[in-house]
């Protein structure tokens, strides 16, 4: 099965051989990319991974970027001669969405919830370190109860650079001390150590609301940056969303 996770920063495309993730690659989420260019990039990566698209029958798309979703659907039909399964909140019978506006829940966050609940069968909080920093709460009976959203780490840094003069660009590296001795360590402290507190507090509050047995998972490209938080999580899995997409598509199929 081929799955595509279309986010605000990257498109991640992965191939699963049954449940095993065989390979994955990333394409920049450039909204104006043409279908031809998107197809060429995908074919090139398939070639690099010795994958023959004509042998593939099932594909699934999870997207928070409508413009790219439509283009990816067209490209997948061209490659696999069949429409892809479009992941939507509520598609998996084991995980319901108990919020007022179900359509506002990102399909990627729903995929996270499905993976977490099907694996642990307990109340869950999934922290996704992406363009946005999101916390998805799942109850003991598999209901998505709601989400908390904050700017992602890179988003916060970009906002600071965009609105403040004379600040240097920095790498996201956790500083040794909270008291910054220069501009770079001051920014690292304010954002990264500050985000430590944000993450810990939201996890604490959500666990209070969901119950003592709550399992906490982390995913997203920046899930390992705040390594001091690793003891807060039962599982850190950068491929969690991809696995959730696969689980939903297999159940739907």
* pLDDT tens-digit map of 99-117: 988 888 999 999 999 999 9
Rounded CA gap, 200 and 205, in Å? 9
128 noted as active-site residue: no
Quick one: DSSP state of residue 87? P
Beta carbons of 87 and 110 less than 8 angstroms apart: yes
Cβ(232)–Cβ(139) under 8 Å? no
Contacts of 176 (CB under 8 A, 6+ apart): none
Is 32 within 8 Å of 20 (Cβ atoms)?
A: no
Interatomic CA distance for residues 164 and 35, integer angstroms = 37
Q: Comparing C-alpha atoms, which of 147, 145, 148, 136 is closest to residue 96?
A: 145
- The CA-atom distances, in angstroms, between 93 and each of 4, 65, 243 are 21, 25, 17
Domain boundaries of the chain, sorted by first residue:
2-86, 96-246
CB 64 within 8 A of CB 132: no
- Average pLDDT of the chain to the nearest whole number: 90
3-class DSSP state of 17: strand
- DSSP, collapsed to helix, strand or coil, labels residue 9 as coil
Query: Residue 98 corresponds to which tokens in the numbers above?
Result: 């108990």
So what's the pLDDT on residue 89? 95
**For 187-213, how does the pLDDT look when each residue is reduced to its tens digit (9 = 90+)?**
888 888 888 999 999 999 999 999 989
Domains 2-86 and 96-246 share a fold: yes
- For domain 96-246, the CATH class is alpha beta
Catalytic residue among 17, 108, 128, 182: 108
Quick: pLDDT tens for 125-145: 999 998 899 999 999 999 999
Alpha-carbon span 94 to 120, nearest angstrom: 12
Q: Note the pLDDT tens digit of each residue in 14-59.
A: 999 889 999 999 999 988 899 999 999 999 999 999 888 766 678 9
Taking domain 2-86, whether its CATH number is 3.40.50.720 is answered by no
Cα–Cα distance, 217 to 95 (Å, whole number) = 17
pLDDT at position 167:
61
Beta strand ranges found along the chain (DSSP E): 2-6, 10-17, 20-28, 59-63, 85-86, 96-97, 124-129, 132-138, 143-151, 215-219, 235-236
pLDDT at residue 223, as a whole number: 66
Specify the DSSP class assigned to residue 98. Answer: -
Task: Name the percent of the chain in helix, strand, coil, to the closest 5.
Answer: 40, 25, 35
Q: What is the DSSP letter of 104?
A: G
Query: What are 76's two structure tokens?
Result: 């997948």
What predicted TM-score, i.e. pTM, was given to this entire model? 0.90
**Binning pLDDT at 50, 70 and 90, where does residue 249 land?**
very high
Rg, the chain, Cα only: 19
């Amino acid at each position: 099965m081929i799955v595509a996770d279309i986010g605000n920063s990257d498109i991640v495309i992965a191939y699963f051989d049954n449940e095993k993730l065989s390979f994955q690659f990333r394409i920049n989420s450039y909204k104006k990319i043409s279908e031809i260019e998107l197809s060429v990039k995908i074919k090139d990566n398939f070639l690099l991974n010795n994958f023959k698209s004509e042998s593939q029958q099932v594909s699934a798309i999870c997207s928070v970027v409508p413009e790219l979703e439509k283009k990816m659907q067209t490209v997948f039909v061209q490659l696999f001669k069949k429409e892809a399964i479009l992941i939507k909140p509520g598609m998996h019978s084991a995980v319901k969405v108990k919020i007022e506006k179900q359509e506002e829940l990102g399909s990627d966050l729903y995929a996270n919830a499905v993976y977490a609940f099907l694996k642990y069968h307990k109340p869950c909080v999934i922290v996704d370190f992406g363009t946005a920093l999101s916390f998805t709460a799942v109850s003991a009976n598999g209901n998505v109860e709601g989400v908390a959203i904050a700017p992602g780490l890179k988003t916060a840094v970009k906002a600071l650079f965009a609105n403040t003069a004379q600040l240097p660009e920095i790498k996201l590296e956790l500083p040794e001390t909270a008291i910054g001795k220069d501009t770079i360590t001051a920014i690292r402290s304010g954002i990264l150590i500050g985000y430590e507190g944000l993450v810990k507090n939201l996890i604490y509050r959500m666990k209070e609301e969901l119950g003592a047995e709550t399992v906490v998972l982390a995913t997203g490209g920046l899930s390992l940056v705040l390594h001091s938080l690793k003891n807060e999580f039962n599982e850190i899995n950068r491929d969690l969303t991809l696995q959730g997409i696969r689980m939903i598509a297999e159940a739907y199929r």
